Amino acid sequence: MPPQDYEIYKKEVETAQADLQASLANFKPLSGHYENVDITKSYDTQGRYESIPFRDESKGDFTSTVASSGCGLLVTTFIDYFFCIPMGFDVPKLAKKGVELGYRGYKKMADGTWKKMGLLHAWFDRFVPSYTGLKSTMLHSINEVNEAILNQNLAILLVRCSIYNDTPESTESHFVAIVGSDDDEGVYYLYDPNYENICTVPYYKVNKAVRKGWVLSDD
């Protein structure tokens, strides 16, 4: 990405994240019960891919796999399923493509080593719409998740593991997809690549953990 384009993109991201955090105070759940996928079905999990590398060995990373770092890749294949798009990528191909195109993130440290940063967030801004033909819009308000549910679109959230997974010491983040909600129970239905079944997670827990988000739509 050219430097001038990166600065524009960085500003857009910062604005979206600030707006999203401010919107949490005005969260209004949907009234009713919505399921945009079959919640009784089993779905793919990243734990099945312990032998599939997702790493750039030129950065000194010889251990990362889809199982350890590929939640965003599994969410991508779920997008394919959700919208019935024959994207032509399975998880191993996505992992390879992600590294080839520079979406496997690393940060160079003062001592010259590289810190692993997971899947770059621009994956959902640039790669996914390019290869699926879907429209990807950064989330500015948590209530846009409700709009996505109502319109049978897909909200992708990046959540803090410290809150979402009850691991206060963690600095990691995790990608999940919102596929419905149930206001009677006060929960979102979501696809979490760590689990075969659709999860139910309280609104407050997801909202408190959210860092960034996107809405994927086919219109």
- Chain centroid to CA 146: how far? 17
Q: How high is the mean pLDDT of the chain?
A: 94
Residue 215 to residue 219: CA distance in whole angstroms: 11
Q: For the chain, give the percent of residues with pLDDT over 90.
A: 91
Tell me the mean pLDDT in the region 27-45. 96
- Residues above pLDDT 70, as percent of the chain: 97
Averaged pLDDT, 112-128: 93
Residue of higher predicted confidence among 163 and 85: 163
Give the count of domains, the chain. 1
- The pairing of strands 210-217 and 154-160 is antiparallel
Residue 2 has pLDDT above 70, yes or no: no
Mean pLDDT of all residues in 133-137? 96
Per-residue model confidence as pLDDT tens digits over 186-198: 999 999 999 999 9
C-beta of residue 61 within 8 angstroms of C-beta of residue 55: yes
Q: What integer pLDDT is reported at residue 10 of this predicted model? A: 85
Q: What is the pTM of this model?
A: 0.93
Whole-number CA gyration radius for the chain: 17
CATH number at residue 96: 3.90.70.10
Q: How many CB atoms lie within 10 A of CB 115?
A: 11
Handedness of CA 201, 156, 76, 62 (dihedral sign): negative
Q: State the pLDDT at residue 7.
A: 78
Give the HSE-up count for residue 8: Cα atoms under 13 Å, Cβ half-sphere.
5
Query: How many CB atoms are closer than 10 A to CB 35?
Result: 14
Please tell me the predicted confidence (pLDDT) of residue 50.
97
Range of the domain at 92: 3-217
Distances in Å between the Cα of 93 and the Cα atoms of 62, 130, 132, 160, 165 are: 18, 16, 15, 27, 28
